[in-house]
Amino acid sequence: MLLLDQIYSPLDLRKLPEDQLSRLCEEVRRRIIDVVSNTGGHLASSLGVVELTLALHYVFQSPVDPIIWDVGDQAYAHKLLTGRREEFETLRQAGGLSGFTRREESEHDPFGAGHASTSISAALGIAEAKRLKGEQGKVVAVIGDGGMTGGLAFEALNHAGSLERDLVVVLNDNQMFISRRVGAMSGWLSQRLSGSTFNRLRRHIKERLTSWDHYGEDALHFMRRLLEGTKAVFTPGILFEGLNFQYVGPVDGHDLEALVSMFRNVRSLDGPVLVHVRTTKGKGCTYAEENPSRYHGVGKFCVETGELRSEGKKPPAYTQVFSRALVDLARKNDRIVAVTAAMKDGTGLRAFADSFPDRFYDVGIAEGHAVTFAGGLASQGFRPVVAIYSTFLQRAYDMLVHDVCLQNLPVIFVLDRAGIVGEDGPTHHGLFDLSYLGSLPNLTVMAPSDENELVRMLHTAADFEGPVAIRYPRGSAVGVKRDAKVKKLLVGRGRIVRATHKKPDLAIVTIGTMLHPALKASKVLAERGIEVVVADARFSKPLDEVLIVRLAAQAGRVLTVEENVVAGGFGQAVCACLQKRGLQVPVITLGVPDCFVAHGDPQSLRGQLGLDAGGIVKSALDFVKKSQTGERRA
């Protein structure tokens, strides 16, 4: 029987003799590869921390010693060892385990994650709560070298160094974010002497000290202390020791014996400790080790070869269309520069970076800085394109308000993954941006309904004197014919996509890609004798008020559709517009209700939310029927 199949909780792990741990590591690795090959998921990060996870659970006593994983996508081994082994095959599937840590899932996940750089703050809060409640136990935060580039992580280190609680921060240094790591701290972490080089040097000096016998025991003791004290200067430790952390490392994160004995020592230390562990992303799986970026987050793949399973021929993804269009635009306009926060590949900026290395900036996992940095560039006449996923721009809200919109600076925000993202779930769905952007003065907000519109919007934004946001969803575009010569749009003007010769019974106004299910729905409704006019608003801010008022007056009923929360979103802006114009027309706003949307297949999630053609037909039929009955009664 496999050792892994006997582990129901970390208690079972702690009962194993130490010499069986490496066998267990192999089994954990195998299980992760097998399951992720069927479900897709974050393979390389999780494989890199198998020994680290085992060693942590072997020495620390979760949940008394809580372990907080930054981002949470590397926590698959943690899930397998903390009572979720039997459900592991449901990873990222509807109703199954989340791909990240989640409080609802286990007492061993005391703090949920998905976004980076939160672990040290959360762990410090938990450590402080333990003190206030008089509870025992150490608190451990495990953070990658990527997560460590986020401002939040620095803020937490600064605070932790002054609070002096029993906090262990494990820096998982694999020299990779999703792509190759960036930033000055990377150089700091890798260029200093490695632990083993320093230890060799120290041994050498200690040997020499024996010839100092004639200076007496005190002098020798002093020299040895001095030598210990210099460790931080020669290793990356000086940075952390300056913040009042005891620095331990660098330690080989795949050497189980070394990890276990080091954590035993660390567990007995008081105050904040930083443990620097070096690991290899994708460890133990040739293709993931060779190409950790590709296997950071993967779809289904063949276990033997690592080849990704083909999804059939599809139109290019919105990300790809943006990627090419930006390069074309930047060839003609040398004021265009591009900024990413550690998502060069995900946001499609790699082609730009390769073509214009001098005009490309990867700032690390630092969305707030990315936005203000872009503001600075824009203030000097450049046209920065800041490409950030919708969900991650949330972190930079004040920068958006204070450093860009208030100063009316022409920064172009390109929000990929706006809408339902699917298997990554609630931490990654981009379902709030129309609301959080819609309330900002000076900002123009556009949402393309297809790839041709995306290119038009990008060109329109490049010439616009003010901040602009363009939001589009994850995945394949529609496959429409593209303009031979890109047509720019009139800012704040929507378009009618489906007209009707008769008086319409209903006007459906959509934003972004919701146009397509609405068009499908309109055909079904026509077959049921309901005449529908369909308009694509193109801009959720400023709204095409003239168009909306005209359609509302003609149809007497408006249904809005958006892949965003209803609260503060596009539909509510349409309601406000009609109210302002004194038009008493009933409006139904379709979108995401006041809840976080779980993980699962994107199309099924849309179906559950009533945001597919069937859902729109149903809402439209109910709406028309109810209001006709009301009209008859009146």
Ligand X SMILES: Cc1ncc(C[n+]2csc(CCOP(=O)(O)OP(=O)(O)O)c2C)c(N)n1
Rounded to a whole number of angstroms, the minimum distance from the CB of residue 182 to ligand X is 10
Could you say whether residue 177 binds ligand X (CB under 6 A)? yes
Rule CB under 6 A: choose which of 116, 248, 251, 298 binds ligand X: 116
**Annotated catalytic residue, options 281, 294, 383, 538:** 281
Shorter beta-carbon distance to ligand X: residue 178 or 521: 178
And the tokens for 529? 């004798």
The single residue listed with the structure tokens 């790591």 is 181
Shorter beta-carbon distance to ligand X: residue 352 or 623: 352
**Annotated catalytic residue, options 85, 102, 138, 367:** 367
Shorter beta-carbon distance to ligand X: residue 70 or 536: 70
Could you say whether residue 174 binds ligand X (CB under 6 A)? yes
Rounded to a whole number of angstroms, the minimum distance from the CB of residue 548 to ligand X is 35
Task: Give yes or no for a contact between 141 and 168, defined as CB atoms under 8 angstroms apart.
Answer: yes
Rounded to a whole number of angstroms, the minimum distance from the CB of residue 12 to ligand X is 26
Distance of alpha carbon 302 from the chain centroid: 26
Rule CB under 6 A: choose which of 29, 115, 130, 471 binds ligand X: 115
Shorter beta-carbon distance to ligand X: residue 67 or 616: 67
Rounded to a whole number of angstroms, the minimum distance from the CB of residue 184 to ligand X is 15
Rounded to a whole number of angstroms, the minimum distance from the CB of residue 424 to ligand X is 9
Rule CB under 6 A: choose which of 395, 417, 557, 599 binds ligand X: 395
Could you say whether residue 145 binds ligand X (CB under 6 A)? yes
Distance of alpha carbon 433 from the chain centroid: 14
How many angstroms separate the CA atoms of 346 and 123, rounded? 29
Question: In the Cβ-directed half-sphere of 161, how many Cα atoms lie within 13 Å?
Answer: 16
Task: Give yes or no for a contact between 325 and 145, defined as CB atoms under 8 angstroms apart.
Answer: no
Could you say whether residue 392 binds ligand X (CB under 6 A)? yes
Residue type, 616: I
Q: What are the CA-CA distances from residue 578 to residues 493, 574, 610 (Å)? A: 16, 6, 24
Could you say whether residue 71 binds ligand X (CB under 6 A)? yes
Using CB under 6 A as the binding criterion, the count of chain residues that bind ligand X stands at 24
Segment 346-375, which members bind ligand X (CB under 6 A)? 365, 367
Q: What string of DSSP letters covers 171-184?
A: EEE-SBSSSB--SH
Rule CB under 6 A: choose which of 25, 153, 176, 321 binds ligand X: 176
Residues sharing a CB contact under 8 Å with residue 363, sequence separation 6 or more, in sequence order: 182, 183, 339, 340, 341, 342, 369, 370, 373
And the tokens for 465? 């004197």
Burial class (CB in 10 A: 0-12, 13-18, 19+), 630: exposed
How many angstroms separate the CA atoms of 263 and 260, rounded? 5
Per-residue exposure over 588-624, b if at least 16 CB sit within 10 Å of its own CB, e if not? bbbbbeeeebebbebeebbeebbbbbebbbebbbebb
How many angstroms separate the CA atoms of 515 and 412, rounded? 24
Rule CB under 6 A: choose which of 178, 412, 461, 611 binds ligand X: 178
Stretch that binds ligand X, among 141-149, 265-273, 464-472, 500-508 (CB under 6 A): 141-149
Rule CB under 6 A: choose which of 79, 102, 281, 541 binds ligand X: 281
Give the closest residue to 330 by CA, choosing from 390, 262, 404, 382.
Answer: 382
Shorter beta-carbon distance to ligand X: residue 419 or 591: 419
Rule CB under 6 A: choose which of 37, 62, 74, 319 binds ligand X: 74
Shorter beta-carbon distance to ligand X: residue 161 or 364: 364
Give the closest residue to 33 by CA, choosing from 96, 97, 89.
Answer: 89
Shorter beta-carbon distance to ligand X: residue 174 or 589: 174
Known catalytic residue: 581?
Answer: no
Task: Give yes or no for a contact between 148 and 177, defined as CB atoms under 8 angstroms apart.
Answer: no
Segment 282-341, which members bind ligand X (CB under 6 A)? 341
And the tokens for 385? 């394109």
Rule CB under 6 A: choose which of 41, 99, 144, 195 binds ligand X: 144
Shorter beta-carbon distance to ligand X: residue 66 or 150: 150
Shorter beta-carbon distance to ligand X: residue 73 or 544: 73
Rule CB under 6 A: choose which of 24, 31, 33, 45 binds ligand X: 45
Known catalytic residue: 281?
Answer: yes
Known catalytic residue: 471?
Answer: no
Rounded to a whole number of angstroms, the minimum distance from the CB of residue 151 to ligand X is 10
* Catalytic machinery residues: 281, 367, 395
Given the rule CB under 6 A, which residues bind ligand X? 45, 48, 71, 73-74, 115-116, 144-147, 172, 174, 176-178, 281, 341-343, 365, 367, 392, 395
